[in-house]
Structure 1
Amino acid sequence: MGVLRMGYVHAKVTDLEEAKQHYGSTMGLYETRSEPGRVFYKGWDEWDHHSVVLEEGGVGLAKIGYKVADAGDIEIYEKRAEQFGCTVQRMAAGENPEVSDGIRITLPSRHELELYHDMTLVGTEVGTINPDVFPRHLIGVGAPRVEHALLATDDVRLADRFFCEVLDFYATERVQTSLDDDCGYIGTWLSAGNQVHDIAFIDGPPGKLHHFAFQLKDWAEILRAGQLFAMDDVSVDIGPTQHGITRGETIYFFDPAGNRNEVFAGGYFSYPDRPTHVWTPDQLAKGIFYVQRELNDRFTTVFT
């Protein structure tokens, strides 16, 4: 039993053709399905049919999906979410193209979270028999997979409780108002397994998206991504730089609609039995941008 990983991000964009240039040509994602007003993508090293859905009409996050290990997990999480006080709806197989049945939960943060147990398997670009280490003809950044999302909420502690108590996540990092057990949370970074974080929440307008991230291998790939962003006139928020929180190497940037993306590398291997790293507000700038130790206004005020 358990949540395996983030399966897909379903984002809204103002102009689908501009978005396709960004996610297809610059980020190098592979288009797997197209229909009027909507397009589906996957990274080259992702097995399932899609991990990014773009829908024309607005900005921000429509919903986010997480894959669970077994079909039986759905009923368990459904009951737990209802007991927590959340609105839960069943979703039928195919309601999301190529996705199994599951549940849709309105989170305390007002985001829509979908849990499902299966998606059509299409395979990676290098296959499973004697696979090469990457595809020969990568486009742009050549992002291998989507990794995590950071969402906004007006009650970070409640979001933390939901993911830990209902979905069996654990906090790898937190920003707390003090070191007391009953203090407030400014931010929390949560993992479902060994990844440094699968989802995170920071204080901000509920229901809003801060960013979703693509995994890269190392600092050299982060730098190369920055060079490609310069070539393609991508609006960069900050970076290349490094986080203190998660220790990840990063660039934040915006898609043409204004949704913030991230390329993320590094971080550390995590375990559920490890202590949580705690950051205090006076060290928040160092925690977010370890090298500069300074927050820009956009990072704390721009949400979609």
Structure 2
Amino acid sequence: MMTFRDKTVVFNAPKVMGILNVTPDSFSDGGQFNKLDDALKQTEKMIASGATFIDIGGESTRPGATPVTLEEELDRVIPVIDAITERFDTIVSIDTSKSEVMLEAANHGASLINDVRALSQPGALETASRLAQEHNIPTCIMHMQGTPETMQDLPRYNSVVDEVIEFFRAQIERLTANGFEYKQIMLDPGFGFGKTLDHNYEILKRFDEFTQFDLPVLAGMSRKSMIGNLLNKGITERLAGDICVNTVASLAGASILRVHDVGEAADVSKIIEKLNQINV
């Protein structure tokens, strides 16, 4: 269970986080939803299909992506957050690493910070901590080796799962030492962020080990190259692979499935919920 401002979510089965990239260059849906009307229509569709969270991103973090300016990111996300929070009763997540975007997004109604850089940018830890303390806004901490520009340049680990677990342990200590309550932290092992194909599948196979912290763990594999490269499928042909990996992660204890295809992930969640209700 976790509280996002005044909304409490019970993770008796994985909840679905719908991806809404308001960017021109995201790897899968870049340019599709960077107009407000299109973003609202997609949000309505995702909520109707079963999304509990809408994750709004104004800066692509695909491999090789280059950063955008603060002003450009704010111009992309704030009008969308305003429009969504005015029209829909949902939990809005802001996918950003910039402290100023975190603060403005929260001021306009966002209830979760989703940071692929794990609050490492200037002012991010202090801002996220203040938002957690004053508004009960949790943060999702993701593991990434390198930066989006360099993360796929021959990533190496002695043991990828063990190193991600140690990263989580250190980040939990860091955040709780800086004002976070323990239950205001969410974890994301960062599929595709500084990992080879084998690294990604080792993380998936051992996903249950990340639940040892008794914190929600997010699985974000939607349409990623770990599916496309293994199955030799283009971005628009990866749905079956998505359903498969989301099911594996769900059975291993994933709390949130971050996806483009919400309806199919919601079906996975309903089946997992039913299985969890069966006593044998």
State the TM-score, normalized to the length of structure 2. 0.31
Going by fraction, where is strand more abundant, 1 or 2? 1
Greater RCO, CA 8 A, separation 6+ = 2
State the TM-score, normalized to the length of structure 1. 0.30
Going by fraction, where is helix more abundant, 1 or 2? 2
